[in-house]
């Protein structure tokens, strides 16, 4: 659902987006007036470049960006928390492949036209520098994942993913005991490690048997982080 009304709370959330934090209030107000609000309920999706175009900010909630295929298996590029850039669409020629943004919990996004974002960067070069830094960090993460696909079996890839999610989602309740706040299906996790649901289910069995994790009703608890790290480092 698209909502054009900025709203004071929504402007505050926009000001907390990582690459916009250094902007003066007048610039935040300007971005707010030029960026429609898009609300997604849990499980709802939109297609980049079709349902939504421009530079996308996730101001609250949690989403995953993924690419489905006709075989039912999809590939997750990233899981993004509120307060950051999601990506861009409609600004460069694209292939026929469609990328989807799926809300893992109720989420609010804002879409800024490419021309408006370019003007913002020209007025505030720091935004451009921070955007480059952020995209560089994500590229490093993608390269690490590609390396894992080549060098590691599914249990090792799943162990590494669970460790990253437990840190990124502020799930730390102590070094050894962590709970992932989001509930993921095995199919979603499979799309994040480049595998299939059946292989991820078997991998969970291996990790549970080793005492590294517990699972119940899609709730994942890291019960032994050191053991999980051991699995994550294992190569073929």
Domain CATH number, residue 133: 2.60.120.10
Residue 98 has pLDDT above 70, yes or no: no
Q: Which domain holds residue 180?
A: 152-233
Residue 223 has pLDDT above 60, yes or no: yes
Domain finish residue from 144, 160, 179: 144
Provide the angle, in degrees to the nearest 10, between the axes of the packed helices 25-33 and 114-123: 170
Place of tokens 């939504």: 52
60 bridge partner residues: 108
User: Do 44 and 128 fall within a single domain?
Assistant: yes
Residue 178 CB: number of other CB atoms within 10 A? 24
pLDDT of residue 93: 46
pLDDT of residue 182: 80
| Mean pLDDT calculated for residue range 38-43 | 92
User: Do 138 and 28 fall within a single domain?
Assistant: yes
With cut-offs at 50, 70 and 90, classify the pLDDT of residue 71.
Answer: low
User: Do 165 and 122 fall within a single domain?
Assistant: no
Fill in the DSSP letter of residue 52: B
pTM for the whole thing? 0.78
> Above pLDDT 70, what percent of the chain?
85
Residue 95 has pLDDT above 70, yes or no: no
- Residues 166-202: pLDDT tens digits? 876 554 444 556 788 788 889 889 999 988 999 999 9
Q: Which residue has the higher pLDDT, 12 or 97?
A: 12
User: Do 134 and 85 fall within a single domain?
Assistant: yes
User: Do 137 and 198 fall within a single domain?
Assistant: no
Short-list 168, 165, 18, CA closest to 85: 18
User: Do 134 and 18 fall within a single domain?
Assistant: yes
With cut-offs at 50, 70 and 90, classify the pLDDT of residue 7.
Answer: low
Q: Which residues contact 144 (CB under 8 A, 6 or more apart)?
A: none
Domain CATH number, residue 224: 1.10.10.10
With cut-offs at 50, 70 and 90, classify the pLDDT of residue 50.
Answer: confident
């Amino acid at each position: 659902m698209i909502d054009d009304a900025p709203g004071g709370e929504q402007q505050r959330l926009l000001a907390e987006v990582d690459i916009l934090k250094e902007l003066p209030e007048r610039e935040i107000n300007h971005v707010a007036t030029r960026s429609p609000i898009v609300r997604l309920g849990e499980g709802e999706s939109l297609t980049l470049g079709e349902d939504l175009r421009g530079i996308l900010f996730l101001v609250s909630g949690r989403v995953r960006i993924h690419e489905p295929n006709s075989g039912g298996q999809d590939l997750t590029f990233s899981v993004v928390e509120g307060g950051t850039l999601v990506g861009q669409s409609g600004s460069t020629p694209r292939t026929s492949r469609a990328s989807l943004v799926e809300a893992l919990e109720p989420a609010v996004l804002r879409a800024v036209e490419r021309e408006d974002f370019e003007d913002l960067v020209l007025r505030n070069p720091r935004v451009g520098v921070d955007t480059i830094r952020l995209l560089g960090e994500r590229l490093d993460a993608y390269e690490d994942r590609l390396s894992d696909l080549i060098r590691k079996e599914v249990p090792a890839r799943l162990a590494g993913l669970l460790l990253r999610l437990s840190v990124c989602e502020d799930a730390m309740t102590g070094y050894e005991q962590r709970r992932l706040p989001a509930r993921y299906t095995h199919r979603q996790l499979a799309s994040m490690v480049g595998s299939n649901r059946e292989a991820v289910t078997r991998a969970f069995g291996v990790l549970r048997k080793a005492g590294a994790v517990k699972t119940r009703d899609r709730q994942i608890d890291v019960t032994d982080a050191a053991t999980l790290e051991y699995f994550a480092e294992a190569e073929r």
